[in-house]
Structure 1
Amino acid sequence: MTIDWDTVRCFIEVAEKRSLMAAANTLGMSNATLGRKIDALEVATGLQLILRGPGGVALTDQGKEVLALAKAGGDHLFQMERLAFSLKSDRRALPIRISTTETMVSAVLAPHLSLLWDKHPGLVVDLIMSTELADLNRREADIAVRLARPKSEGLITRKLPEITAGLYASTGYLNGRDPGSLDLRHEKLAGLDDQFGDIPESVWIRQHELQQALSVQSSSIYALMEVAKSGAAIAMVPDFLAQRHGLFRVSAPPIPVRKPWIVFHRDNRRNREIRAVRDWIVACCQNSFTLS
């Protein structure tokens, strides 16, 4: 029996997407080509791995067992690819890949890289901006920082310092008005859009019946900051960012505190370089979120 990695990779994609068409689009091949690869894998193994239907594909029991082994093998191959890249590039160390949000990368981690290199000058980091939790089991990242605690098997989570937020406006928007006496229902508000789902900030807006005042939404905290700084609207943003930019806090009911988490795979819990980066992330958060 001969099985090549490309065919196995195709099977993993089909199994995860539950659709030949979706998997084919991701892999950049036609449905027919992908179908032939799955057929070839079934012939090579002598097993029926998937069931095709009008609603997509489903794994057979045998397919589920093969998938578990295929993904484990994929993890090792992914690590080999990273190692080969590092050696080819003549790097002394593999980059530590950190997946987190735009705000964490730009406002918290990037400004404090010197703290990391003061203690560990040889470390290389890859800061990946993403709103999705990277698959740490498949080593898409070594460390993730997220605002929700994931519960996937094999992952370890550690709580980071809390992030407080408020409503903030510029002097231009206030135009001499008292920020403590505004009727928010008659103001222009800026907040996060629904890309992140039913997050606490969105729930807060509904609870206080401020939907009609929500004049602009964005998936970017930095965009909301620029809206506030320009004087166009009152923005819901983290306190530490608003303080940096000299914005004025507008009186409002308390906004829910966000609780970020650092996430890593249990296999890396004793890796000294990854531990050093984890400690650095904690220090970055403590330095950034502490208000003066």
Structure 2
Amino acid sequence: AIADRGTVRLTASEMVGCEVLPPMLARFRDAHPGITLELALSNRNEDLLRREADIAVRMVRPRQKSLVARRIGKSPVGLFAHPRYVERYGLPKTVADLETHCVIGFDRDPQPFRSLGTMPRQIAREMFGFRSDSDLAQFSALKSGVGIGGCQYGIARRHPELVPVLARMIRFELDVWVVMHEDMRATGRVRLLFDHLASELTAFLRTR
């Protein structure tokens, strides 16, 4: 079928692109081996209107017109630590206790925190003992025991060694959207991947 041929370009954040999408894309390739996939990772929302990508997985609601956007659900985010860190420094019992711990956070770009709602507006760069604007660098630091860091629960499930921190006190939620330009609706290969991702991400968010 013509729909099973050609290239589809997908954009997503670093964490979603590296930790969430690969097994989903593997299953898509198994079903549609004639479709070439391109994955562009960026924490900046690439403009679908400029055709920088065919499909985007986004954690904020797209505002532009001419886009087809499907809200998949909410992805909860909490704080976690590696057992190596916990063994050495213990766990905070209150939010105030975090001041005595190494917290992993942003360096010069606070935008990821802005997307988490109102509470993170009070979070300042100086609070972090380890700073990076790369989500992957933050996650690697978390898994290496550098400090306490934020992580989506769906991703943390794949790393069962991670220990929840202040789970009842600190919890955010991110909206998950799959988006494409409305002109792509009739393009079979793009529609196939759009529907596949919507289905797979729905299952991912439902798993507790």
Which TM-score band (shorter chain)?
A: 0.7 to 0.9
Superposed, which structure 2 residues align to 1:1-292 within 5 Å?
93-175=5-87, 179=91, 181=93, 183-195=97-109, 197=111, 199-201=114-116, 204-205=119-120, 207=122, 212-245=126-159, 246-251=161-166, 253-292=169-208
| Paired residue type of 2:18 | S
Higher fraction of helix: 1
Secondary structure of 1:288's counterpart equals helix
Whichever residue aligns with residue 286 of structure 1, its letter is: T
**Maintained 8 Å contact 2:116/2:173:** no
How far off is 1:257 after superposition? 0.3
Structure 2 residues not aligned, in runs of 5+: none
- Check the 8 A contact 1:167/1:237 in 2, yes or no: yes
AA in 1 matched with 2:201: C
1:19-67: CA deviation from partner (whole Å, max 9, x where unpaired): xxxxxxxxxxxxxxxxxxxxxxxxxxxxxxxxxxxxxxxxxxxxxxxxx
Is the 1:147–1:259 contact (alpha carbons within 8 Å) kept by the matching residues of 2? yes
Greater radius of gyration (CA): 1
User: Which residue number corresponds to residue 87 of structure 1?
Assistant: none
SS at match of 2:191: helix
- 1:212–1:218 distance in 2 versus 1, CA, 3 Å: closer
Query: Contact between 1:184 and 1:213, CA under 8 Å: does it hold in 2?
Result: no
| CA distance 1:190–1:291, shift in 2 (3 Å) | farther
Identity across matched positions, percent: 28
C-alpha displacement at 1:259, in angstroms? Answer: 0.4
1:102 Cα deviation after fit: 1.3
Listed one character per residue, the Cα deviations across residues 183-235 of structure 1 (whole Å, up to 9, x for unaligned) are: 2121110023442526145853454x676541122222222222122222111
TM-score computed with the length of structure 2 as normaliser: 0.82
What one-letter code is carried by the residue in structure 1 that aligns with 2:105?
A: G
Q: 1:201 to 1:150 in 2, by over 3 A?
A: closer
Q: Which moved more, 1:93-102 or 1:187-196?
A: 187-196
Aligned residue pairs, count: 200
User: TM-score, normalization: structure 1?
Assistant: 0.61
Contact conserved, 2:69 with 2:179, CA < 8 A, in 1? yes
Distance 1:214 1:243 in 2: 24
| Higher strand proportion (structure 1 or 2) | 2
Contact 1:200–1:256 (Cα < 8 Å) also in 2: no
- Is residue 116–residue 174 contact of structure 2 (8 Å, CA) maintained in 1? no
What SS is found at the alignment partner of 1:184? helix
Q: Answer yes or no: is the 8 Å Cα contact 2:13–2:43 preserved in 1.
A: yes
Kindly report the root-mean-square deviation, in angstroms, between the aligned alpha carbons of the 2 structures. 2.6
**Runs (5+) with no aligned partner, structure 1:** 1-91
SS of the residue corresponding to residue 95 of structure 1 reads strand
**CA shift at 1:143, angstroms?**
0.8
Matches of 2:43 and 2:115, distance apart in 1: 16
